[in-house]
Amino acid sequence: MYNEKTADINSKLQCKNCAAPVTFQPGTQGTTCGYCGTYNPISVNAGDKHAATQELNFNNYLDIDDSEKLTVQVLKCNSCGASASYNNNTSATSCAFCASPLVVKGGTTASIIKPKALIPFVVTQPKALEEFRKYAKKQFFAPNDFRNMTKHTENLFGMYIPYWTYDALVHSKYEGEQGIDYQTTETYTAVENGQNVTKTRTVTKTRWHDVAGDVRNTFDDITVIATKSLPTKQANSLNPWNYKALVPYNDAYIAGFNAEMYNINIEQGLEDAYELMKPQIEQSIRYDIGGDHQRINRYDSKNYNVTFRHILLPIWINTYKYKDKTYHFLINGQTGEVQGVQPISVAKVLAVVFAVLAVIIMFALAVGGKK
């Protein structure tokens, strides 16, 4: 788990009644003791709430003091390279990201930027399994042997996945063209009653002229995944997240779950965030160009007042290896949304195509016979 001092973590994650280990209960604001069943509420003070909303200055991140860092005990998968924390009582399991055997014999430590906030798990493991099974049953075109594999869900992992959020003021200078529509009359030749006749019609044309200018855009909490361990497209498809549910980071929310360490640094994260900003920037440029049509020939953007946060989002992960390929199924731990990619059975696809063709041919023969 994320921690600064093991002794401090142990005291936080012990039952207040009997000192036994506790586990966070999705959908609640507390942990439950596995030994005596006592519910232990997670307390949040005003200072923690304020800290969760604070942003760090991007330009000064190299000089971040130790109060903004954590020493993390992690295990690294030798197969895919993912680094994550696992429960302290884990002896051997499978990697959540590539399904390879993961034998826990020890770990390493690393210094990371402290998570400011997280969204706690709301969806329980039984509910996640239910949603996954519903999803898997609908995947008709998956090979039968793969569908049989998905019936085995013992490797469903609850993981807190790292994300970066960015705020920025973006100033963009552009060059482009403004198009103004105008109407004109043109003549054309048409054939009427076997004769060529000249006619006129009104047509709309566009007159273009060069323009240049600059626009400013303000962005708040542009969120990008901070790991390469999960398919970015699938992870992004888990949106929307309700960020109003973000709570100050507390180790108690991690109890009983696992957490991955980020492997995309904040510079790369900002580049990914900028790609998400581009559509809004280009929309602003088109609005500034005005006219009836717009062409953007080029633009250069500079980011100002960039700040960032490290947050954790809850995802249930089910991973299968099939014919030397890895297939991920992700379940939003807040909403239950399922996203995944599965192999396609060519035989099933061809069977459907031939069946459709057979129906078309039979229909055509029936219609032809009536004639």
- Residue 323 pLDDT > 60: yes
Contact predicate 26/13, CB 8 Å? no
Distance CA 160, CA 87 (A): 13
Judged against a pLDDT cut of 80, whether residue 12 lies above it is answered with no
> What pLDDT is recorded for position 149?
66
144's CB contacts (< 8 A; 6+ apart) are 345
**Stretch 133-153: mean pLDDT:** 73
Q: 350 or 367: whose pLDDT is higher?
A: 350
pTM above 0.85, yes or no: no
Residue 219's pLDDT band (cuts 50, 70, 90)? very high
Structure confidence at residue 119 (pLDDT): 93
- Domain ranges in the chain are 2-167+221-278+301-345
Using the structure block, give the residue that is written with the tokens 């009536």.
370
CA-closest candidate to residue 97, choices 4, 3, 144, 162: 162
How far is it, in rounded angstroms, from Cα 350 to Cα 355? Answer: 8
**Would you mind telling me the total number of residues written for the chain in this entry?**
371
Q: CA-CA distances (angstroms) from residue 229 to 46, 83, 196?
A: 35, 9, 69
Bridge partners of residue 224, in order along the sequence: 164
Query: Average pLDDT for residues 15-27, to the nearest whole number?
Result: 85
Least confident of 6-15, 37-46, 242-251, 281-290: 6-15
Query: What is the bridge-based pairing of β-strands 69-76 and 2-3?
Result: antiparallel
In degrees rounded to 5, what are phi and psi of residue 200?
A: -125, 155
List alpha helices for the chain, DSSP H. 6-12, 46-53, 125-137, 144-149, 232-236, 266-289, 346-370
Q: How far apart are CA 52 and CA 117, in angstroms?
A: 5
